[in-house]
Structure 1
Amino acid sequence: MIIIGLMSGTSVDGIDAAIVNIEGQGLDLKVDLLVGQTFPYSPSLREEILQVCAGKPLSMEELSKLDNAIASEFAQAVTSIIPDDLKVDLIGSHGQTVYHQPPQKNQLGYTLQLGRGDLISYLTGINTVSNFRVADIALGGQGAPLVSKIDVCLYRHPHHHRCLQNIGGIGNATYLPSSHTPQWQEKIMGWDTGPGNVLIDLAVQELTNNQQKFDFNGEWSRQGKPCQVLVKKWLNQDFFKQKPPKSTGRELFSPHYLQQCLKDAQTYNLSSADCLATLTELTVASIADSYHRFLPSPPHEVVLAGGGSRNSYLKERLQAHLPHSRLLNSDDLGISSEFKEAIAFAILAYWHINNFPGNLPQVTGAKKEVILGQHYLSSR
């Protein structure tokens, strides 16, 4: 089956579109990436999304217009990426998260992804599955991370204990014990590790008056020296100590959060490069700290994906924190690190129409497995 997976993450860089061919059943799938491309948001739409993520209030009319605008750009990505001679059977669209609230005591969580699937289906003429997180949340789950079951499908290994570490705006991890470990599937874990690129990106934008959007390859951070005293202080934040299941987003690691970090940096007279190096150190230290806190032993391999996997300075610092683990990029295993999450939502759409549950309750905290997503049939 030919499926297009669509994903825009917490970095709000643009829409990742992946055309994949999927065959098989359940966890035993053959997944081939045929085409992958990223379509940047228009600058005005990206800025509006970021403002909403930062807490800008909207009227219902404004919300509906934003929902439609995002769906229209997702649909345009679909029509732009499909070769003339290819018939696509299905779309799996994550949409754009603008708000995420993990469940509280005696209260369900809430999550909102804009980019309505019914409009994508209408505009493209292709059946579309979207709104994947809400079914898990309705069962008491976090609704995140949802990639963990895909990680089981694509990355399990008979001998190696692996951590699949995505570093997008927010970092998330899946721990996969060796599949020869007794009852290995019951020992799978997953959680959001904390900030990925979000604070680094926000800092670069502030320090350059929005002339730069991110620290390319960590070149600016590499010129500085991380302040370990500050990193240790920041790691005392409650989220890092919280045991999985757990998830987070821009609601916590926000522009306001960054301002407090920058204020702390001034106390230590850090240069701009020192500040970026220290924020990068927070990302890698939070990943490593979570492994030390929550895993039975260091993983044999850490497989990286997402934008952070292309930051050589960040990777060097992560290796320094995880000296006993081998760092790999997902590409090394034949799965695109750039389009991994778009591929994941293509798989979740495939599982939906095949009535196969897409969540892992021990990862999300949901009461049971459930079919994820809402299916919109094309009217064409």
Structure 2
Amino acid sequence: MLCLGLMSGTSADGVDAVLARFQGAPDRPEWQLLSHHHSPYPAALRDELVRIGQGEPRPAAALLDLAEAVTEQQAIAARGADPDQRASLIGCHGQTLWHRPPSSTRRGASWQLLQAPLLAQLLVRPVVHDFRSADLALGGQGAPLVPRADAALIGHGDGWRGVLNLGGIANLTLIPPRSGPQRREPVFGWDCGPANSLIDLAMEQFSDGQQLFDRDGAMAAAGRCDNDVIQRWLQEPYFQLSPPKSTGRECFGQEDLRRRLHELGAAPTVNAVATLTGFTAAVVAQDLDRLRADRNVHILELLVAGGGCRNPVLMKELQRRCRGLAVRASDQIGLAAEAREALVFALLAWWHHRGHSGNAPAITGATREACLGVRVAPA
């Protein structure tokens, strides 16, 4: 079956679209990535999404216009990946505006902006969307959704495998080995903390809007990382939580950046970017260290996807801080780094079609597994 996957992440830089073929057993499908297309958001739309994602209020009319604009951008990306309309089903994540994990006082909720019936009409094919709500209704975090899909797409190795996505937020998947005493362990996964969100916001601020990210890690490479500050930041409450846990720009956005820059004081801008880059790697390394201590899980390799894997300074920091691991881009095992999350949502749509569960209680904390997503057809 040919499925189209659409994903726009926390960075809000645009929509990744993939066309993929799936067949066979849902837990270990045979799959082929046929095409990948990235469609950037217009600058004004990206700016508006980032601002709202950090809590800036907007009138209902503006949010309605924004939902329509996001939906139209999803359709543009879909046509770019599948100009001949070969896909029979589309899986679309939508654009996250706000994510609220469950707490001791209230249930969790998550808002992915999309007009799914409009998208189905524009593309003249059924769309599966709203992938997080079922897991949230079952008491789960609603995120991350990629770990179970990672295990299906990548498979098991000789030892524990880690898959790290470095988008706006860093999320981690741990896949147990194919053999040995830990082979029956579940797949783990959680949101570690910020990946590119703070770095990108800092670059935009320091360049007066001329640079939206640290291309090739050039700014970080010119600076010096303040490890004393990083060690203080690692003691903050979110980084002390045990999984399941999830987060987003509502926690690691402009206000958070402002606080961290204040703590860095008069540090040169290159040092600030270097410290934020080191912080991203340090958060991941701390989680992996805790995993070894608490659960005796020792991963052998860390496969990195998302835009952050194109930042050589960030990759070098990961290699340095995650001692003893082979750190490499997921491209090296045939999983295109920029296409991975869109491929996951193509798979989740196929799983919905097959009636296969897409979440896992060990990852999200939900009370049980569930088939994820809501399907809408063209009118």
Q: TM-score, normalised by structure 2?
A: 0.97
Corresponding residue to 2:283 among 286, 306, 317? 286
Q: SS state of the match for residue 56, structure 2? A: coil
Work out whether residues 351 and 358 of structure 1, in 8 Å CA contact, stay in contact via their aligned partners in 2: yes
Deviations for 1:217-262, whole angstroms, at most 9, x for unmatched residues? 1111011110011001111110000000000001110100000111
* 1:243 alignment partner in structure 2: 242
In the alignment, does 2:120 pair up with 1:121? yes
* 1:378 alignment partner in structure 2: 378
Q: SS state of the match for residue 185, structure 2? A: helix
Q: What pairs up with 1:79-90 in 2 under 5 angstroms?
A: 79-84=79-84, 87-90=86-89
Once the two structures are overlaid, the 10-residue window that deviates more, 269-278 or 339-348, is 269-278
Deviations for 1:175-225, whole angstroms, at most 9, x for unmatched residues? 112121346343421110100000000000010111100001111101111
Q: SS state of the match for residue 47, structure 1? A: helix
* 2:194 alignment partner in structure 1: 195
- Which one-letter code corresponds to 1:280 in the other structure? T
In the alignment, does 2:186 pair up with 1:159? no
Deviations for 1:45-82, whole angstroms, at most 9, x for unmatched residues? 11111111111212222222211111111112222332
Once the two structures are overlaid, the 10-residue window that deviates more, 151-160 or 99-108, is 151-160
- Which one-letter code corresponds to 1:270 in the other structure? A
Alpha-carbon offset, residue 298 of structure 1 = 3.2
In the alignment, does 2:155 pair up with 1:139? no
Once the two structures are overlaid, the 10-residue window that deviates more, 131-140 or 152-161, is 152-161
- Which one-letter code corresponds to 2:34 in the other structure? L
* 2:364 alignment partner in structure 1: 364
Work out whether residues 176 and 182 of structure 2, in 8 Å CA contact, stay in contact via their aligned partners in 1: no
Deviations for 1:114-137, whole angstroms, at most 9, x for unmatched residues? 022211101110110011011100
Q: TM-score, normalised by structure 1?
A: 0.96
List gaps (5 residues or longer) in structure 1.
Answer: none
Once the two structures are overlaid, the 10-residue window that deviates more, 181-190 or 293-302, is 181-190
- How many angstroms apart in 1 are the aligned matches of 2:285 and 2:104? 28
- How many angstroms apart in 1 are the aligned matches of 2:124 and 2:220? 46
- How many angstroms apart in 2 are the aligned matches of 1:347 and 1:141? 20
In the alignment, does 2:55 pair up with 1:58? no
- Number of residue pairs aligned between Structure 1 and Structure 2: 376
Q: SS state of the match for residue 337, structure 2? A: coil
* 1:263 alignment partner in structure 2: 262
Work out whether residues 135 and 359 of structure 2, in 8 Å CA contact, stay in contact via their aligned partners in 1: yes
Alpha-carbon offset, residue 355 of structure 1 = 0.2
Q: SS state of the match for residue 262, structure 1? A: helix
Two-structure CA RMSD over aligned residues (Å): 1.2
- Which one-letter code corresponds to 2:337 in the other structure? S
In the alignment, does 2:195 pair up with 1:178? no
List gaps (5 residues or longer) in structure 2.
Answer: none
In the alignment, does 2:27 pair up with 1:27? yes
- How many angstroms apart in 1 are the aligned matches of 2:36 and 2:186? 33
- How many angstroms apart in 2 are the aligned matches of 1:317 and 1:80? 35
* 2:44 alignment partner in structure 1: 44
- How many angstroms apart in 1 are the aligned matches of 2:304 and 2:284? 12
- How many angstroms apart in 2 are the aligned matches of 1:247 and 1:2? 31
Once the two structures are overlaid, the 10-residue window that deviates more, 125-134 or 269-278, is 269-278
- How many angstroms apart in 1 are the aligned matches of 2:171 and 2:179? 24
- Which one-letter code corresponds to 1:294 in the other structure? L
- Which one-letter code corresponds to 2:32 in the other structure? D
- How many angstroms apart in 2 are the aligned matches of 1:350 and 1:203? 38
Q: SS state of the match for residue 7, structure 1? A: strand
- How many angstroms apart in 1 are the aligned matches of 2:105 and 2:137? 13
Deviations for 1:4-59, whole angstroms, at most 9, x for unmatched residues? 10000000110001111111122120111111011011111111111111112122
Work out whether residues 217 and 311 of structure 1, in 8 Å CA contact, stay in contact via their aligned partners in 2: yes
* 2:299 alignment partner in structure 1: 299
In the alignment, does 2:72 pair up with 1:72? yes
Work out whether residues 298 and 325 of structure 1, in 8 Å CA contact, stay in contact via their aligned partners in 2: no
- State the identity %: 38
- Which one-letter code corresponds to 2:21 in the other structure? N
CA spacing shift, 1:50–1:245, aligned 2, 3 Å? same
